[in-house]
Amino acid sequence: MKKNRDREKLFIAEGQKLVTDALQAGWTIRTLLHGKKALDDDILRPQIETLTTKVHAAGGDILIVSDKILSAITRRDNAQTIIAVIEQKLVGLNDIEPAGNDVWLALDRVRDPGNLGTILRTCDALGAKAVVLVGETTDPFALEAVRATMGSLFHIPLMRATESDFIAFMDKWKNQHKGATIGTHLKGSVDHRSLDYSAGPQLLLLGNEQQGLTDELTRACSNLVRIPMAGAADSLNLAIASGIMLFEARRHAL
């Protein structure tokens, strides 16, 4: 549950890939759990032994449990054979300085953990340098969000901020870093493809799935853009819109 994750500052990641990614990225694994039956598999056993050796060497605990327990933890009938309990890691809003033509993404009050996880994966794939979660955004360490990242959670700096703190950060971005703050908005008058995203650091803002950006964040943007659409749909899924914006902002560097 979220209240337990918040209190303990821990979360769960499933599967060999995510656990390996976490280890390689330097995240701290408190406990590694794996199923008893996996040790009888000639293919899985050496893989599990390699992971358990690395986790134990880093100070983590190893637990061998039944498949029933793995299913109960992950809420899946066919659970992964490996689960890790990992320490959460967030970066302070002012701990990283943007450089050159870096692209950062800010998300305002995102509600769906699957959307958030998919967006983090896209940010990693397209080379965004950081993600800022503004306001009451869904928990990035929720099981559904972690699954959707496919390991990208461990490779991109993640920050949280209140709306007021983030607006102050936007001012710093524009005045100190000489960068652009670009919000997507249905009332935006500028085609998102028309901007020069290589002219200094770019901070992209996307809003809540139903309501979009708040009025305060909208007013703080240096540019409001729209993504052209040809069909009858009046909006795009947030993860899709994020991917379109990120690709355009990073096109020159890919």
Task: Report if residue 98 sits inside a domain.
Answer: no
Predicted structure pTM score: 0.92
Q: What per-residue confidence (pLDDT) applies to 38?
A: 79
Q: What three-state secondary structure class fits 58?
A: coil
40 backbone φψ class: left, alpha, beta (φ>0; ψ -120 to 50) = alpha
Q: What per-residue confidence (pLDDT) applies to 4?
A: 76
Q: What per-residue confidence (pLDDT) applies to 42?
A: 84
Final residue of a domain: which of 57, 87, 117?
A: 87
* Biggest CA-to-CA distance, the chain: 62
Judgement on whether residues 119 and 214 belong to the same structural domain of the protein: yes
Judgement on whether residues 236 and 139 belong to the same structural domain of the protein: yes
Boundaries of domain holding 204: 103-253
| DSSP codes joined into one string, 37-49 | GGGG-TTHHHHHH
Task: Report if residue 249 sits inside a domain.
Answer: yes
Judgement on whether residues 162 and 119 belong to the same structural domain of the protein: yes
Judgement on whether residues 172 and 209 belong to the same structural domain of the protein: yes
**Pairwise CA distance, residues 182 & 106, whole Å:** 10
Of the pLDDT bands very low, low, confident and very high (cuts 50, 70, 90), residue 242 is very high
pLDDT digits (tens, 9 = 90+) for 2-23: 777 888 899 999 999 999 999 9
- Is the C-alpha dihedral spanning 71, 76, 82, 84 positive or negative? negative
Final residue of a domain: which of 37, 55, 87?
A: 87
pLDDT above 70 as % of the chain: 100
pLDDT digits (tens, 9 = 90+) for 138-149: 999 999 999 999
Task: Report if residue 206 sits inside a domain.
Answer: yes
The total of structural domains in the chain comes to 2
Domain CATH number, residue 139: 3.40.1280.10
**Pairwise CA distance, residues 44 & 96, whole Å:** 39
**Pairwise CA distance, residues 134 & 204, whole Å:** 12
Task: Report if residue 96 sits inside a domain.
Answer: no
CA atoms lying within 13 Å on the CB side of residue 117: 16
**Six-digit token pair at 22?**
């976490």
Judgement on whether residues 76 and 189 belong to the same structural domain of the protein: no
Residue type, 237: N
Final residue of a domain: which of 56, 87, 118?
A: 87
**Pairwise CA distance, residues 58 & 169, whole Å:** 36
CA of 166: how far to CAs of 6, 20, 38, 121, 238, in Å?
21, 33, 46, 23, 20
**What do you get for the CA distance between the two ends of the chain, in Å?**
39
pLDDT digits (tens, 9 = 90+) for 153-187: 999 999 999 999 999 999 999 999 999 999 999 88
Closest CA to 219 of 147, 150, 166, 178: 166
**Pairwise CA distance, residues 200 & 217, whole Å:** 21
Q: What per-residue confidence (pLDDT) applies to 1?
A: 63
Of the pLDDT bands very low, low, confident and very high (cuts 50, 70, 90), residue 39 is confident
**Pairwise CA distance, residues 227 & 188, whole Å:** 9
